[in-house]
Amino acid sequence: MPRPEMTSFQNVFKADPQVQTSAPGRVNMLGEHTDYNDGFVLPTAIPQQTTVALGPSPDDQHHIYSQELDQQVSLGPTDPIPEGFASYVVGCFKVLEHQGIPVPPLAVHITSSVPMGSGLSSSAALEVAMLRGLRSHLQLLDIDDVRIAQLGQRAEQAYAGVQCGIMDQMASSLADAEHLLFLDTRTLERQLLPLPTGAEIVVMDSGIPRTLAGSGYNQRRAECEEAASELGVKALRDVEDLGAIAQLAEPLQNRARHVITENGRVLQARQGGSAEQFGELMNASHASLRDDYEVSVEGLDKLVAILQETSGVFGARLTGAGFGGACVALVEAGKGKDIAQNALDRYNQAGYQGKILVP
Ligand code: GLA
């Protein structure tokens, strides 16, 4: 382990930072692959955060350092967008510049406890922390938290190549770890809701890398757009009646069924209800993601099945885009640590390499 004082902003850049800002990762409890269909989502913030410290660059280049990766990227104003973690940071600079806001050369130091590549929105946490830092450093007082999320989404779409919805950046910008954030992704109407009484959240990494996440994600999105256009609606959000999708060929019919039923599950959860009822919605969401949306993989199904069989678990599902990454479970309050450890032991005995992420 590097000593913290050896990797701080001061040590990397030999100066004090002018601004330091943070933003959390998120776990989505219900409402998966609905946001780019103008639908409903229900994420919450996780305790893990990304922190950005920044100050003026000593020269005419940006210098961007990631403590976790121990990598520094330096680039001038006309250099191409770098690959990897720095693409999100430079993407944030570029979206501001497109708004006519010049970004002077900066020294940026990033540290993060949000797991990378698990589907817990480490990229959104980085974008939101970075944009908060830029808002403060450049005194962009008219940029509110919703705008931060929208700018972060644009940075991800335009410069990291994923045609993502607005959920992750909204969650990182507006959610907290004590509530569920209900969000209507079309109107951006939102509401903080309590967790079901007597319950807490467990998040586990399946250890399966999300290799297809980019291409598979963009393909699902295109299928949904095609389904909406065949049905003559703006987005699948506008279809509530499952009878209406009978005319669609496969796989569009299955994709549409997932989106419609998943929107229904979020709206049902929003009404409130017991932890048992919420858990059943999560189990149904997993089945729908596995069978209709086809974004699960064997490891995720295995881990979800183990969690669902464990006493004290109300419900479990894959979370995030799928194709690997994390699972989330709603469990009896106070039992999260034990439940997660038992599930992990069983999962890893089956030959996988999972990890407990929350609690
Ligand atoms: C990724 C995207 C989100 C959302 C989820 C799936 O996390 O960034 O916008 O579409 O997948 O629900």
The atom of ligand 1 lying closest to the CA of 217 is: 11
Residue 68: helix, strand or coil by DSSP?
Answer: coil
Expressed in angstroms and rounded, the spacing between residue 24 Cα and the centre of ligand 1 is 16
Q: Provide the pLDDT for residue 7.
A: 55
Residue nearest to atom 8 of ligand 1 (CA): 164
**Would you say 303 and 322 are in contact if contact means Cβ atoms under 8 Å apart?**
no
Give 4's DSSP letter.
G
**Residue 1 confidence (pLDDT):** 47
For 115-139, give the DSSP string. PTTSSS-HHHHHHHHHHHHHHHHTT
Distance 184 CA to ligand 1 centre (A): 14
Q: What's the pLDDT score for residue 239?
A: 96
Confidence at residue 130, expressed as pLDDT on a 0 to 100 scale: 98
Cα–ligand 1 centroid distance for 43 (angstroms): 11
Question: What pLDDT is attached to residue 4?
Answer: 45
Q: Which residues contact residue 17 at a Cβ distance below 8 angstroms, ignoring those fewer than 6 apart?
A: 9, 10, 53, 54, 55, 107, 109
CA of residue 33 to ligand 1 center, whole Å: 6
Identify which of 242, 266, 269 has the alpha carbon closest to the alpha carbon of residue 254.
242
This prediction has a pTM of 0.95
If one residue of 217, 295, 300, 317 were mutated to test the ligand 1 pocket, choosing by the most ligand atoms within 8 A of its CB, it would be: 217
CA distances, 242 to each of 226, 266, 284, 290 (Å): 17, 16, 16, 18
- Residues facing 200 on adjacent strands: 331
Instruction: Please say whether the beta carbons of 50 and 129 come within 8 A.
Output: yes
The β-bridge partners of 97 are none
CB under 6 Å to ligand 1: residues? 28, 32-33, 35-36, 164-165, 167-168, 320-321
In this predicted structure, what is the pLDDT of residue 213? 63
Find tokens 């900066």 and name the residue.
Answer: 106
The DSSP output letter for 162 is -
Q: What is the CA radius of gyration of the chain?
A: 21
Residue with CA closest to ligand 1 atom 1: 321
Number of C-beta neighbours around residue 264 at 10 A: 16
pLDDT of 163 reads 85
pLDDT of residue 206: 97
Mutation pick for ligand 1 pocket among 121, 126, 128, 168 (CB with most ligand atoms within 8 Å)? 168
Q: Where are the alpha helices (DSSP H) in the chain?
A: 9-13, 85-98, 122-137, 145-159, 167-174, 213-231, 252-270, 275-291, 298-309, 336-349
For ligand 1, atom 11: residue with the closest CA: 321
Q: What atom of ligand 1 comes closest to residue 33's alpha carbon? A: 12
pLDDT by 10s per residue, the chain, length 359: 444 444 599 999 999 999 999 999 999 999 999 999 999 999 999 999 999 999 999 999 999 999 999 999 999 988 999 999 999 999 999 999 999 999 999 999 999 999 988 889 999 999 999 999 999 999 999 999 999 999 999 999 998 878 899 999 999 999 999 999 999 999 999 999 999 999 999 999 999 988 766 678 999 999 999 999 999 999 999 998 999 999 999 999 999 999 999 999 999 999 999 999 999 999 999 999 999 999 999 999 999 999 999 999 999 999 999 999 999 999 999 999 999 999 999 999 999 999 999 99
Token pair belonging to 174 = 């507006």
Query: Could you tell me if 37 and 236 are in contact, meaning their C-beta atoms sit under 8 angstroms apart?
Result: yes
Q: Burial of 186 by CB count in 10 Å (0-12 exposed, 13-18 middle, 19+ buried)? A: middle
The whole-number pLDDT of residue 211 equals 74
Distance 15 CA to ligand 1 centre (A): 37
Quick check: bond before 104 cis, omega within 30? no
Bridge partner list, 40 = 184
**pLDDT score for 212:** 62
